[in-house]
Amino acid sequence: MKKKRRLPFPILFEDDDVIVVEKPAGLLATHTKLAGRIARASQLTAENLLNDYVRKGQAKSRRRVWLVHRLDRETSGVMMFAKSEEVAEKFRADWASLTEKTYLARVGGLPEEEGGTFESYLLEDADGYRVRSVAAPGARRASRGARAPKLARTEWRRLSTADGTTLVEVKLKTGRKNQIRVHFSEAGHPVVGDEKYGGERASRLYLHALSLRFRHPRTGEWLEFAAPPPKGLAPPNPQSLIPDP
């Protein structure tokens, strides 16, 4: 019998349909582009660790988790997996209506506005490494195999400033790859530690998935889970994170 791995992160909630965890910075959410099933299954990822967890160390077990959203490797915070393909497809089909995600980010510079909304069409480069904003897609269909730009909407508000940086609260209205990082970089305020998109070098990427609120796929009840902000991302006044009535 295969030895069951210890999870290097806490489980915030678990039932027969979903499992919610607090992913640490530095851990892949899912596998990168590796050749072969064995290579993908052996990579250290939150997905693989949870697969081992639900299988209770039984290598031949068919139990597994399904990815329904992603966090970048260096982003910490709340992340949810489905325990069946049916639940995963339900979330993927209507993610914006069934979930609400809130992030904390420390960005470079001092934005003049107290808050606002970024909206653009995001397109991945051919190799999938970088993402950028492009003009709205025209009426003509993209050529077969071409990547299509996707609408991304990011709402944010300023929480505090310190040492030439600004702590912001971010609410995603869409869930696109690198969305927060691209939008703030293109606004001239890249996330601290995000060298990929022009941010200053730091000990980590200063981006944290603070909370996830979602409608339970079976009961219809709204549930919310949060992961405490790490050092450098905690607001001076925690009450500032409570939304206005």
- pLDDT reported for residue 139: 46
CATH code of the domain covering residue 216: 3.30.2350.10
Number of domains in the chain: 1
Is 44 part of a structural domain of the chain? yes
Q: Which pLDDT tens digit goes with each residue over 55-101?
A: 987 777 889 999 999 999 999 999 999 999 999 999 999 998 999 99
Note the residue count of the chain.
245
* Residue ranges for the chain with pLDDT beneath 70: 1-5, 34-41, 138-146, 238-245
**Is 112 within the bounds of a domain?**
yes
User: Looking at 72, 125, 163, 244, which residue is catalytic?
Assistant: 72
CA 8 to chain centre: 18
Domain that holds residue 23: 11-137+144-230
Query: What residues form DSSP beta bridges with 226?
Result: 211
Model pTM?
0.87
CA distances from 75 to 25, 205, 208, 209 (A): 5, 6, 6, 7
Which residue type, as a one-letter code, is found at position 89? E
**What is the pLDDT, as a whole number, of residue 1?**
42
Would residue 235 count as lying in a domain?
no
pLDDT at site 140? 47
Alpha-carbon distance 65 to 68, whole Å? 9
3 within some domain: no
Does 125 participate in catalysis according to the annotation? Answer: no
Is 239 contained in some domain? no
Q: Give the pLDDT confidence score for residue 240 in this predicted structure.
A: 62
Q: Is residue 241 part of a domain?
A: no
CA-CA distances (angstroms) from residue 65 to 22, 53, 85, 141, 216? Answer: 15, 10, 8, 35, 16
Look-up: residue for tokens 């995000």? 194
Q: Do the domain assignments include residue 151?
A: yes
Rounded to whole angstroms, the Cα distance separating 215 from 91 reads: 9
The pLDDT score that the predictor gives to residue 40 is 66
- Please give the distance of CA 205 from its chain centroid, rounded to a whole number: 13
CA 186 – CA 111 distance, rounded (Å)? 13
Residue 4 lies in a domain: no
CA distances from 243 to 112, 114, 157, 208, 222 (A): 22, 15, 11, 18, 16
